[in-house]
Structure 1
């Protein structure tokens, strides 16, 4: 789960709890922690243009790139669990980026009409639901993919028996189902508030059951991202350690074999060795794809983790997270989160030669197939036109040949014969 959606709800929740019990505030003192009131001029307004400028670019990059990811991964043979997890991530990334489109458009309109504001307020619950669901699915899929690679490296035979395409699909569908059920708490809470809030006067009081549900959900938005971050970091650290250890062991065995047997170099070129090399290359490509996803996740989620720590310290009155800091860190955090859902395709092409080769091959085949169909249609049209032209040009010759062999035709139709001879 990313940290963006959790922070807004957690901050609102903690701020409400902290502000509810304080009443004696003056214009020079804040409502909590005894900190002086901040001046709004301490904000940095121009940094908000980071999100305004970069979001359309990253939206286009995410849409095109993840569509090409699905295009290549669906056509790869043989299919494996890697394809299932990467396709799931690509679809969730597209959903996450497009869920921001309506709020982004509304914020860019200088003076939105009441209809736009009301429509966005009505759809905001669904937008938050889709965004949080997509974030859950994307992050938990990385965890599942990491566990899959750990099993493949540590116990290849066991991995082949239990990690089939159908089982990976079942795991992906289970992740989506759990994410939908968890994020549905957002729908229940938001639309209860939307239906009972008149838009003026005091805020409606939620029922006690809904308060407990909202408290549990806000707590999960704080705990689950931290656990997901630690799980991805721990599993992949162990995985990298095992890969490095096996690589060193393999190189040592190869050196011993080459030094002890003079003919070992020629024996390495057998068909059995070739199959092993191909299987190792496939596993290596899967590990490269996983490493790309993990590094992108860890790098882009680190600013959100720092932001969450600052918000927690501020809510507990340990350290103040000033308005100036928030105006700087919030756009940077959103930009990094959007990078996490947009750059997979670029990084796949950059670090994986096999992916680039497959992309060129499938694009050439798709474009070549369309071109061949157009060429065949043009060729058929030309053949049809030529046949009609040849039939028309051959008709006078048939009459002249008929005249040459049958003189009685002249007596029957002298006008036609004379015209054909001209």
Structure 2
């Protein structure tokens, strides 16, 4: 194919100047705000945040105090952090690499712009279905705990994660054949390369199935799981509050009965009986103190396990809520607008520019969803904050030693005083 290469740039500039309308100007401004500035900044933050997520979640996973279901949830969160990290990396490269209509040689930028869209889409749908799998496991663990003991395990979670990665990769293979690199030979013998869509490539059916399988079904499932989890957590807190109030009232009645018994014994007994009563009360107090210590240790362990359960559940609920706020509305808007308006990519009418504006905003929202999980984990997960603090606070390892030495010195001082 022969082309007058020296006039291509001038032709593109003249066409762009003639087609500068209010819609095109608005589209350029919003593209600069959201795509050229917002997406690179959010993606860079997401790279750092997801890297920290990998460090903290991996360190928490090897903690033996976690139960089997909590470790399964951590495996899913680690897989999600890997997928989000790769999405942020590819999105950052997609926005900072120089994009041109034509290239004078086959370089890495050209190949990335050709194939990068497929890889970005893979990590988007992969993260979406990983969230669905984790939400389903947490739904079973909280709402159906007996069934979850049979269905949820470390091995099954690893298999589910591998299946999600494999199915999402197979589903994105058609995207890599949607466009191709076209070579053009100029009059002077030089060659130019550009990326064009394949002729006769009809992807209407694929886009319809794509929207159903990777947009609407995951969002409906996540909405159902999240509503059930929030309702179950609310009922559990309400039951715990009622039990706490009942225990406090029983304790008040118990103390009042003891006080009444002591008053009766004082008025009706002699000095010897008072001595016997005091010794008996001391023995009872000693026994109750020992029982309280044992029950306190058991309740402390139970509170620790409950805290881990609540932290993981709250984390997943927050991740799902963020996804439903940032991703689901954007997908619905894109789907409805594309179906209700005629979008012409060749003549670029006003609907084309409005569609591009919607894409810029929704792409920024998706990037934000995959980049701010670090802030989300710090806000709702107390265990995550503690582990993050231990990773970066190097002076903390010296504190227990100092405390032990101080306790030993105090113990020796008391021994000398007794002698």
- How far apart in 2 are the matches of 1:67 and 1:367? 23
Q: Conserved in 1, the CA contact under 8 Å of 2:132 and 2:221?
A: yes
CA contact (8 A) 2:130 2:164 kept: yes
| Cα deviation, residue 216, structure 1 | 4.4
Q: Does 1:299 align with 2:325?
A: yes
State the alpha-carbon separation in 1 of the partners of residues 198 and 379 from structure 2.
53
**Of the candidates 174, 179, 194, which is equivalent to residue 168 of structure 2?**
179
- TM-score, normalised relative to structure 2: 0.67
Q: Cα gap change, 1:235/1:290 in structure 2, threshold over 3 Å: closer, same or farther?
A: same
Displacement of 1:101? 3.7
TM normalised by structure 1 equals: 0.66
**Equivalent residue, structure 1, for 2:240:** 250
Cα–Cα, structure 1 residues 366 and 330, in superposed 2: closer, same or farther, change >3 Å?
Answer: farther
Conserved in 1, the CA contact under 8 Å of 2:43 and 2:371? yes
1:129 corresponds in structure 2 to 118
Instruction: Find out whether 1:155 has 2:136 as its counterpart.
Output: no
Alignment of 1:325-340 (within 5 A): 325-340=354-369
The alignment status of 1:40 with 2:27, answered yes or no, reads: no
Distance in 2 of aligned mates of 1:61 and 1:101:
10
Three-state SS of the structure 1 residue aligned to 2:371 is coil
1:339 positional shift? 0.3
**Per the alignment, do residues 353 and 72 of structure 1 end up closer, same or farther by CA in structure 2, a change over 3 Å counting?**
same
Asked if the contact 1:81–1:168 (Cα under 8 Å) also holds between the matched residues in 2, the reply is: yes
Asked if the contact 1:42/1:323 (under 8 Å) is kept, the reply is: no
Q: 1:383 matched to which residue of 2?
A: none
Q: Aligned residue for 1:288?
A: 314
Task: Select the structure that is richer in strand.
Answer: 2
Task: Give 1:347's match in structure 2, choosing from 365, 372, 376.
Answer: 376
In the aligned structure 2, how far is the partner of 1:204 from the partner of 1:281?
Answer: 55
Q: Which residue of 1 aligns with 2:341?
A: 314
**What's the CA shift for 1:315?**
4.6
- 1:336 Cα deviation from its structure 2 partner: 0.9
Task: Tell me the distance in 1 between the aligned counterparts of 2:350 and 2:159.
Answer: 43
In structure 2, runs of 5+ residues without a counterpart are 1-18, 186-192, 256-287, 344-348, 399-419
Which region of structure 1 is more displaced relative to structure 2, 281-290 or 223-232? 223-232
CA drift at 1:195: 7.9
Which one has the largest radius of gyration? 1
Distance in 1 (CA, whole Å) between partners of 2:238 and 2:164 is 36
> Per-residue CA shift, 1:309-350, capped at 9, x if unaligned?
22222259xxx9835633543322121111011101022112
Structure 1 residue 234: deviation in Å? 1.7
Deviation at 1:55, TM superposition (A): 2.3
Distance 1:185 1:303, change over 3 A: closer
CA distance in 1: counterparts of 2:114 and 2:337, whole angstroms:
27
What residue number does 1:362 align with?
A: 391
CA contact (8 A) 1:196 1:204 kept: no
User: How far does the alpha carbon of each residue in 1:196-223 deviate from its partner, in whole angstroms, 9 at most, with x for none?
Assistant: 99989x98655xxx86xx4543222221
- Alpha-carbon distance in structure 2 between the residues aligned to 1:280 and 1:227: 31
Greater alpha carbon shift after TM alignment, 292-301 vs 280-289:
292-301
Q: Cα distance, 1:73 vs. partner?
A: 0.7
Say whether the 8 Å CA contact 1:66–1:91 is kept in structure 2: yes
Counterpart residue number, 1:70: 54
Q: Is the CA contact (8 Å cut-off) linking 2:311 and 2:380 kept in structure 1?
A: no
Matches within 5 A, 1:1-400: 40-43=21-24, 44=26, 45-50=28-33, 51-76=35-60, 77-78=63-64, 80-107=71-98, 113-115=103-105, 119-187=108-176, 189-190=177-178, 193-194=180-181, 206=200, 214-224=203-213, 225-262=215-252, 269-301=295-327, 302-315=329-342, 322-323=351-352, 325-364=354-393
Distance in 2 (CA, whole Å) between partners of 1:75 and 1:179 is 28
* DSSP-derived class of the 1:114 partner: coil
Shift of 1:359: 0.3
Paired with 2:251 and 2:377, the residues of 1 have a C-alpha distance of 40
How has the CA–CA distance of structure 1 residues 328 and 131 changed in structure 2, closer, same or farther, with 3 Å as cutoff?
closer
Q: Tell me if the contact between 1:310 and 1:321 (Cα under 8 Å) persists in the aligned partners.
A: no
Stretches of structure 1 that go unaligned for 5 or more consecutive residues are 1-37, 370-422
Taking a change above 3 Å as real, the CA distance of residues 246 and 334 of structure 1, as seen in their structure-2 partners, is same
Please state whether the residue corresponding to 2:127 is helix, strand or coil. Answer: helix
